[in-house]
Each structure stands twice: as structure tokens, then as C-alpha cells.
Amino acid sequence: MKWSVSAPMGNPNQADDRELARWLRYYRDLGFTHLYRRETHAPQAAPSVEVAMAAKAPPLKPPPSIEAASRKPAASPPAPPRAHGAQQTGLFTPSAAPETLEQIREDLGDCRRCKLWQGRKNIVFGSGNPKAELVFVGEGPGADEDEQGLPFVGRAGQLLTDMIEKGLKIPRADVYICNIIKCRPPGNRKPEREEVAACRQFVERQLDAIHPRVICALGSTAVETLLGSRESMGSLRGQWYEFHGIPLMVTYHPAFLLRDPSRKSETWADLKKILAHLHPSS
């Protein structure tokens, strides 16, 4: 006697889709980052799946059943521009916390990436609110900053404090202040190209970690580093630019204003534009 086995009745296309879904979940759980489906027109042919792997995959085992497969939320739709510290993740993108200022400072360590370490007393990393809406970026530490390990604490720092608290009506502790370079150049000279190159990654990572609403670049060194422009400050100041998608305003360095107080009115005009951007309704 011969026995015959009848396949369950149903739509073959639905069966193919279920099989494809099972394989997709299986490869995702193995950690593959990209999956591609090659279309086939052969009747009732099993779908062919090519796997592009970021790392060497473990030996393949039979995929678990659909019922046993772990169920994860579907990828969310495209999000609007991220808020402070937010990062977008996709179906195959691992969720990672944004880098913190503490982690960047730890990576900087007892820096000896350029020759400036030989004459410094302290590394001047930065200070202020790590969630600040406004970040000021200057050139580098002076003698007072090198002594205390804090940015803008000398005469230029006092003027900057007045600009922030008396002009913008914001407590200095609510903003973040840092410099392009973290060690004092001899005699407060302009930083050399290789010195800026050694420090550049750290100031850029600081700005990315804070992700403020506005950056204020103080003076030519900050402008050259963040914007790559060597045009005169007179032609650049008072205008909006972008750094990594963040609005950036250029204005004079407080040390320059101490040497030429006649430029304070122009600087105040620049600060009013920052204030209007932060508080458009006021």
C-alpha cells in the first residue's frame, strides 16, 4: 500500500513571505548588519538571501521557528533633527550613548601630543554647563588660566563674564567655555598649526557632546579651526555660519577688545543676534 501526504492548502506567496521573515529575524539575531533579498521569478522557489557581514559570522545553525524567534520593535520612522544629546538608531544599528565630556577629558589624559606640554602647569579643558545652550570657544589659555586650570579667568575672562552676564543676562555657569588648544603657548603667542592639529579633535568632540543651540567663536584662531576660513574678522563677524549643523556666530575675542575698546559696540551687536536666536519671542 502506498501512502500519500498532501501539503497544507494556502497561498504560496504568503508561505514565502513567512519563510523570508523567519530568515530575516534569524540573521538579525546573529548580529548581521545588512540583509539583501534577491528577487526570483521561479514558481514556488525559496527566496535567496545574501548576507553582507561587518564581522566574521559564527557557524550557521537551523533558524528557530517563527513562534520561538525573539520579537523586537520595528524601526521607528525618520525623526526630526535631534535634540540635545539625542542619537538616531535603526533596526540593525546598536544603540550607543553619546560621548560625555568626562570621557573626552579622560581620553585627553596627561596630553603630550604636541610640544606645549613641556611648559604648561595645567591642562585647561573647559568649564560650565555640560548641557549648555550656548558655548563660547576661544583661542587658548593665558597665564592665569594655566595657573588655575580654568578658561577665561584673567582680564579677558572678566570681560567675557560681563558680556555673558550683563549683556546676555545669562549666568556664566549656564554656558560652556573652552578653547581650541588646551595648553598655554609660550608668551601667549598664537598657536602653531601642528599644535592646533593636535588639539582640534578634542574641541570638536566637546561641541558634539554638548550639542548646544549656538556656538560663539571668539577670535581668528577659533574661526580658522572651526570654519576653515582665514578671512578678516571684520568681514566674518556678525554673520551666521554652521559647525556640524549647529548655528555659529563669529565675534571678536575679549583680549582684542581690551586692546581696542572701540570694537565693543560691534561685539554687542553680535551678542544681540545670539540672544535673539536663543529667545526669538523676547
**Type of residue found at 71:** R
Sign of torsion, CA 161 163 167 171? negative
At 240 the three-state DSSP class reads: strand
Exposed, middle or buried, 27 (CB in 10 Å: 0-12/13-18/19+)?
buried
Residue 186 gets the label, from left (phi > 0), alpha (psi -120 to 50) or beta, of beta
Task: Give the pLDDT of residue 80.
Answer: 36
Q: What is the mean pLDDT of residues 234-238?
A: 96
N- to C-terminal Cα distance for the chain? Answer: 92
Residue 268 confidence (pLDDT) above 60: yes
Residue 233 confidence (pLDDT) above 60: yes
User: HEC string of 118-187?
Assistant: HCCCCCCCCEECCCCCEEEEECCCCHHHHHHCCCCCCHHHHHHHHHHHHHCCCCHHHCEEEECCCCCCHH
- Could you tell me the pLDDT band of residue 27, with boundaries at 50, 70 and 90? low
What's the whole-model pTM score?
Answer: 0.68
Task: Give the pLDDT of residue 22.
Answer: 73
Task: Give the pLDDT of residue 19.
Answer: 75
Q: What is the mean pLDDT of residues 72-95?
A: 42
**Residue 191 main-chain phi, psi, to 5 deg:** -60, 145
Name the average pLDDT for the chain.
80
Query: pLDDT by residue (tens digit) across 60-79?
Result: 444 333 333 333 333 333 33
Can you read off the three cell numbers belonging to residue 64? 528557530
Of 121, 164, 161, the residue nearest 142 (C-alpha): 121
**Type of residue found at 38:** R
Task: Give the pLDDT of residue 282.
Answer: 64
- Selected residue with higher pLDDT from 45 and 116: 116
Residue 130 confidence (pLDDT) above 80: yes
Can you read off the three cell numbers belonging to residue 81? 533633527
At 19 the three-state DSSP class reads: helix
Task: Give the pLDDT of residue 8.
Answer: 43
Q: Rg for the chain (alpha carbons), in Å?
A: 28
Task: Give the pLDDT of residue 20.
Answer: 75
The span from the CA of 24 to the CA of 35, in Å, is 7
- Selected residue with higher pLDDT from 199 and 34: 199
Per mean pLDDT, which range of 68-72, 92-96, 270-274 is the poorest? 68-72
Instruction: Give the pairing of strands 134-138 and 214-218.
Output: parallel
Residue 7 confidence (pLDDT) above 70: no
Residue 206 confidence (pLDDT) above 90: yes
Residue 147 confidence (pLDDT) above 90: yes
